[in-house]
Amino acid sequence: MNELVLILLTVFSALVFPGLLTLWIASMLSEWWVRKLFARTQRRMGPSYVGPLGILQPFADFLKLLLVKTEPNYKYGSVRLARVFGCIGLGALTASLFLLPISPVRIAFNYDVILFIYFLGVWVAVSELLMFTSLTNPFTIKGVSRFSSILVVAEPAFFTATIVPVYLVSLVMKKEPVFSISTTAETVWGLWTNPLTAIPMLLATIASLISIQSKLMFSPFNIPEAEQELIAGVETEFSGPLLALFNFLHDADLYVLSLVVTFLFLGGPHPFSNNLVLGVLTIILKYLIVLTTITVLKSSFGRFRIEQGISTIIKYAFIPALIALILSIVVASFT
Amino acid sequence: MTSLNLDPWTATLFLSSVLVLSSLVMYLIYVSLSRKTIQTSSEYSEPYIGGESVTAIRSVDVSVRNLFWGIVRGAGRRLYTFLRDQMHNGVLNDWGVYMVTYIGLLVLVALIYFTR
C-alpha cells in the first residue's frame, strides 16, 4: 500500500506539482514578469491585452504557436529529433526539482549535489545544444558555436557557485546529510549571519546571477541568438509548435535556475519556515527579487562580442565563484 | 511531504525514471496538440539563408571545428588542437576507442571505490 502511495505521489510530483503543469504555469508567469519589466525599462507597455496587465499573454503566445501554427517540414534536419531533445530538457528540469525542498517527494542523501549538477547542468545544456543542431542552418550553427563557447565557462561558474553554500552548510554548520541540496536550502540562511561565511556567500550569489544571465542568453550575453546579426541565431529554424517548445524550455530553465538561487542562496521560506502561507509568500518575494535583478541586468547592457562575453563571465562569475570556494575551504578548515 | 533517503544508485535510477516519464508525457502532449505539417511549397522545407537558395553556400552544415571557436580564440588554442587531432579526429573507430577507454576507466574507478 505504501509503495502504491509513493508511486502515485511520484507521478503527481512529476506531472503536476512541482512537475510539468506547475513548471509550465510558473515559466509563463516568469516570462510575463521579465517581458513586462523589460518593456517598462524601455518605456514600452509590454504585454497588455490578454488578461489583467497582459499576464496571460505568454500563455496565449504558447497556445497559438502550438495549436494554430504548423511545424516546419525540414529537408536538412530532423524536426522529430528537435522535439525529443526539447522534451528531454524539460524532463531533466522536472527531475532536478525533486532535489529541492518543494517537491512532495523529496530526495536527500549524502552528496546529492552531484546528481543535481548531472540533471541540471549536463542534461539541460546537452538537450538545448542538440535541439538547436537538429535543424541545420549556417546561422544556427554559428549561434550554437557561440552558445557552446559560453557554456564552457558559464556552467562551471554556476556550479562552483552552487557548491559554496552546500560546502559551508556541510562543513561549517555540520548539517546532515552532507553536500545535500535539500539540507542546504533549509539551513543556508545561517551563513548570512556569520561574517566569515557571508563574504563567500555574497561572491557566490553574484557569480550565480551572472552565469544564469549567460546560460539564458540574456543581454549582454545574447550573443548566440544575436538578433539581426545572425537573423535569430540558434532559433533561426524554429517556428510554430517547435518554437513554442523551445520557448517553454527556455522559460522553464529561467524558472528553475532562479528557484535554485532563491533556495540555495536566499534561504527559500526563511524566516517563515514554519508558516505555510507566509513561507510561500516569502519564496515568491525572493523569487521575484532574483527575477527582477536578472531583468535589470538584461536591460542595462548592450550585446557583447563573444570574446568580451566570455572574458566577462570569467572575470565576474568564474573567478569570484572560485575565490568564494577557496574562502569557504579556508573558513571550514578553521572551524 | 515524503523524504526519501536513497543510495546514490537508486536515486539516479529514480530521477532518471522521472526524467523519462515527464519527457514522454510532454512529448505525447506535444504530438497530440500540435498541428501536422502542410507542405505548401518546396521553399517551406529549405533552410533560411537570408533569402538565398541552398546552392549559394558551400554546405548547409558547418564543420564541428567551428564549435567552441570563441573559447579557442580567447584561450585554449593548443589544448583544442590537441583534443581535436588526438581524440576527436572524425574517425568513428578512434572515437569509439576513446569512449570505451573512458567509460572503462570510470567503471574501474567505481569498482575500486565500491569494493573497498
pLDDT at residue B67 tops 80: no
How far is A182 from A186, CA to CA, in rounded Å?
Answer: 6
What's residue B65's pLDDT?
61
pLDDT at residue B41 tops 80: no
User: What is the average pLDDT score of chain A?
Assistant: 91
Determine the structural domain holding residue A223 and report its residue range.
Answer: 2-333
End-to-end Cα distance, chain A = 46
Query: Does any CB of chain B come closer than 8 Å to the CB of residue A231?
Result: yes
pLDDT, tens digit, 9 for 90 and up, residues A159-180: 999 999 999 999 999 998 899 9
Work out the pLDDT band at B68, boundaries 50, 70, 90.
low
Four-point Cα dihedral B12, B16, B19, B24, nearest 10: -170
Each domain of chain B, given as residue ranges in start order, spans 7-36, 61-116
Which A residues, 81 through 110, put their C-beta within 8 Å of a C-beta on chain B? Answer: 83-84, 86-88, 90-92, 94-96, 98-99, 103-109
Task: With a threshold of 0.90, tell me whether the complex ipTM lies above it.
Answer: yes
pLDDT at residue A1 tops 60: no
Nearest to A34 by CA among A269, A330, A257: A257
Q: What is the mean pLDDT of residues B76-102?
A: 74
Work out the pLDDT band at B97, boundaries 50, 70, 90.
confident
Beta carbons of B47 and A136 less than 8 Å apart:
yes
pTM (2 d.p.) = 0.86
What's residue B116's pLDDT?
65
pLDDT at residue A259 tops 90: yes
Nearest to A35 by CA among A291, A303, A275: A291
Which B residues, 14 through 43, put their C-beta within 8 Å of a C-beta on chain A? Answer: 14-16, 18-27, 30-31, 33-39
Burial B32-42 (b: 16+ CB within 10 A, else e): eebeebeeeee
Q: How many domains, chain A?
A: 1
Minimal CA separation from A23 to chain B, in Å: 11
- Minimal Cα distance from B4: which residue of A? A107
pLDDT at residue B73 tops 90: no
Least confident of A114-123, A138-147, A288-297, A298-307: A138-147
What's residue A308's pLDDT?
87
pLDDT, tens digit, 9 for 90 and up, residues A170-225: 999 999 889 999 999 999 999 999 999 999 999 999 999 999 999 999 989 988 88
Contact status, residue B14 vs residue B22, Cβ threshold 8 Å = no
Residue B81, C-beta contacts closer than 8 angstroms, at least 6 positions apart: none
Phi, psi of B84, deg, nearest 5:
-65, -45
Q: What is the mean pLDDT of residues A265-290?
A: 93
Q: Which long-range contacts (CB under 8 A, 24 or more apart) does A9-15 make?
A: A9/A104, A9/A105, A9/B2, A10/A105, A10/B14, A10/B18, A11/B21, A12/A104, A13/A98, A13/A103, A13/A104, A13/A105, A13/B18, A14/A94, A14/B18, A14/B21, A14/B22, A14/B25, A15/B21, A15/B22, A15/B25
Least confident of A257-271, A321-335, B70-84: B70-84
pLDDT at residue A28 tops 80: yes
Tracing cell 544556427 back to the chain, one arrives at A140
End-to-end Cα distance, chain B = 36
pLDDT at residue A80 tops 80: yes
Tracing cell 570563441 back to the chain, one arrives at B70
What's residue B40's pLDDT?
62
Work out the pLDDT band at B72, boundaries 50, 70, 90.
low
Residues of B in contact with A103 (CB under 8 A): 1
Q: What is the CA radius of gyration of chain A?
A: 20
Query: Does any CB of chain A come closer than 8 Å to the CB of residue B92?
Result: no
Tracing cell 541545420 back to the chain, one arrives at A136
